[in-house]
Amino acid sequence: MTRVLGIEGTAWCASAALYDSATDETSIESDAYEPDSGGIHPREAAEHMREAVPTVVNTIRTEAGDDTIDAVAFSRGPGLGPCLRIVATAARALAGTLDVPLVGVNHMVAHLEIGRHRSGFEDPVCLNASGANAHLLGYRNGRYRVIGETMDTGVGNAIDKFTRHLGWTHPGGPKVEAHAKEGAYVDLPYVVKGMDFSFSGIMSAAKQAVDDGVPVEDVCFSLQENIFGMLTEVSERALSLTDSEELVLGGGVGQNARLREMLTEMCEARGAEFFAPEPRFLRDNAGMIAVLGAKMYDAGDTIAIDESAVDPDFRPDQVPVTWRGKQDSRRLPATPSEVRGAEALVSIGERVRKERVAKSYRHPALDERLRRERTRSEARLTSEARREGVPTPVVYDVDDHDAALTFERVGDADLREQLVESRVRDLGRHLAACHAAGVVHGDPTPRNVRVDDDRTYLIDFGLGYYTEDVEDYAMDLHVFAESLAGTADDADALQAAFEAAYREVGDERVVEQLREIEGRGRYQ
């Protein structure tokens, strides 16, 4: 039996909890900061934390009574530095008073682990959708790897920026959800790049739409349809890449009923399982800190007082996952005659027919637009890359009505089945050639590269487009790096080989921009 007292305070919610592993029961006491106007003000949030943390901790200690507490767990990050330091100070003092070990917990990993714990799933992909964060995590070789993420801001913060434009108070998400119930669909931007996504364009367009007189209800409805459609699409792509059949949801935005509905429909269509914890474990809470703290304590993963500094930029992939055994690589199935990818149903015979099937979770108008645009783009860019000397399949037919393509059959296996240095070097050179011609692939993952004894083929240009922007070329490299982290045992070595080959024929500025993308520190 393990009993852990957890303390959470990364941004806006002061929370304490007691978890008892013998009964699997968690008591939570929380006090949320509510700004008078606008979003979260860091100074005011810290003042709230300073006043509220002792109160919630004392309430939980009173509930615990004289029963033994084995450890104190606290959120080390990511979050607002002043808030994190207040929580860490309280945790150190309490651990010293009780003479028990201290456990430092990554807030985002806790969101994932509470979903895994409550669902009983063995090895799920996790979509974290919270205020300051939005990313996809998958477990590989002792760590949770980021296999998809926001390129600008967290999903909750993005929605809050829109609602602040309207003069609505924080948090904006529930208000958007309420107004969306009366809305109709209007066209807004929809941006996914592999398993990455961006919210800046849709937020600017939504603000402009309201200023131009589009009814607020319609804009709120369309914001949800597009933003949550993007998150659901990249989640499906992550399931496809990793061959996982389990998805868990974490983060406060996960309380939105429409997002959960979309994820449920997507998983049901794939034959996958989906789980979202109850709301008290989705919003920021100390319960998830205490539960993960107990797992870490049982694994001997505690820290000394002088090693307990907080980290406002604490990434989930920096955390050694000591409480799980090292995962064996999934055995990939042999190529069947029919494959369900993230977007399409692929029938494989002498030729390959790829049909982008309708997605029930997406609004029909949005779904039809995406299916047709991506089918046309794939046909055009596949042929363009081939003209530039990149091995791609010949396009035999484009069926615009069914959003379907017929291709030459190429390769004997996906790259993910032969992830070796020579093959990723081929891919590096192929992408450099595409970029030199102004073509972005959009989704260069090991599932979208085919290999045989002689050649390495680039397929599936459905998310591709023409551009002269170095940032867009670097995003191609970033998408591949993330997919390697989620599928390869020696991802760092393969990534180095891939970049070296890209440099041989490509623009060095693209690799430099990749470094900039990697260093933006989005988990704040």
Catalytic residues, which ones? 443
Residue 422 backbone dihedrals phi, psi, to 5 degrees = -60, -35
Q: For residues 415 and 333, give the distance between their C-alpha atoms in angstroms, rounded to a whole number.
A: 13
Instruction: Please write down the HEC assignment for all residues of 14-48.
Output: EEEEEEECCCCEEEEEEEECCCCCCCCCHHHHHHH
Listed residue (507, 506, 508, 511) closest to 495, CA to CA: 511
Q: How many Cβ atoms sit within 10 Å of the Cβ of residue 335?
A: 14
Who contacts 186 (Cβ-Cβ below 8 Å, separation ≥6)? 209, 214, 218, 219, 222
Who contacts 224 (Cβ-Cβ below 8 Å, separation ≥6)? 176, 177, 180, 256, 258, 259
**403 φ/ψ sector (left φ>0, alpha ψ -120 to 50, else beta):** left
Asked if 201 and 209 touch (Cβ cutoff 8 Å), the reply is no
Token readout for 49 is 């934390």
Listed residue (471, 399, 385, 437) closest to 191, CA to CA: 471
Q: For residues 311 and 329, give the distance between their C-alpha atoms in angstroms, rounded to a whole number.
A: 31
Q: For residues 522 and 313, give the distance between their C-alpha atoms in angstroms, rounded to a whole number.
A: 8
Residue 250 has, within 13 A of its CA and on its CB side, a CA count of 27
Q: For residues 334 and 296, give the distance between their C-alpha atoms in angstroms, rounded to a whole number.
A: 37
List residues bridging with 146 in a β-sheet: 137
Token readout for 104 is 């430092």
Token readout for 248 is 């868990």
CA 357 to chain CA mean position, Å: 23
Token readout for 127 is 């979509």
Q: For residues 98 and 85, give the distance between their C-alpha atoms in angstroms, rounded to a whole number.
A: 20
Q: For residues 130 and 271, give the distance between their C-alpha atoms in angstroms, rounded to a whole number.
A: 26
Listed residue (3, 6, 1, 28) closest to 73, CA to CA: 6
Q: How many Cβ atoms sit within 10 Å of the Cβ of residue 338?
A: 10
